[in-house]
Structure 1
Amino acid sequence: MFRNRQNRPRRSLPPVAPENAAEILLASEGRPFTEDALKLAARMSLEGRGRAMVITIARLHGTSFGLPNPGLQPNRREMAEQEEIVESAIAKLKKLGVPADGHIAITRSPRKSILKEARRCHCSAIVMGADPKRNPFVSSLMWSQEPYRVRRRSDIPVHLVETSP
């Protein structure tokens, strides 16, 4: 009567070949990239003679009765903001001499999506902008503290570029 959800096939992105590996993943949980984060990613990419992959997260706002609901998807304005962030970051990286590519992921869990993308692209490091660290009780409720959750769960180096308050 009820099917086991663990046994159903999962949708996954195809792995990137190691010779086409993106060396640096420039990631954001939805905020614009700072100049410092872009410069750090560019410097790291140029040192490793690699390329940069840009990913930003458009927030999926939850579920309705346990099922996905189109009303909870990001609206056109939110998607346009994220597209502008990605396009701007790619243009700035290319201006700094770094080959770059990027996309937007729509998810409830940015940490999982960022780490999955880093593994898929065989990235050697992740660069993210971050707000100053908050109290652990409060930070677990804040979307802006996601870079610290990424760093805590990642098995590859995560470089956080903190912004001043």
Structure 2
Amino acid sequence: MKRPVAAVAGTGRGVPAHVMTNHDFAAIGIETSHDWIFERSGIVERHIAKNGETTCSMASEASRKAMDAAGVHPGEIDVIVLATATPDRLLPSTAVDIQAELGATRAAAFDIGAACSGWLYAMTTAEGLIMSGTAETALVIGAEKMSAIVDW
């Protein structure tokens, strides 16, 4: 019997609408400058979640784009694995909210919290489920709402 193969079939992204530039930090009273930030990090701007944007809403937007790119419908998804250090709440997992938002009613859904390496654990977990024959189609998501926990 031939073993199933796991592959990335589509990708997508979802980012908050509000953009904050390096110049904006000085405008809100933080002692810094565009040049200081850019020279040390290469960052020019970042997206900041506001107005009800959640980890779920950003992840759902990215998921829809990835599913469109892959030609996958929500009913085909067997498992949703969300890697996040910023879930919308402790329980239940944010992945089940994404499952409901997408209409992936037959998919198992769970979060993995492993900080920066979470996406790798999520990919490896999904690959293992596919390789074992437990799942055929997995939706792996990495989503963070860092603006909820960063103290400017």
Q: Same fold (TM over 0.5)?
A: no
When Rg is computed on C-alpha atoms for both structures, the one with the higher figure is 2
Instruction: Give the alignment's TM-score, normalised by structure 1.
Output: 0.36
More strand by share: 1
Instruction: Give the alignment's TM-score, normalised by structure 2.
Output: 0.38
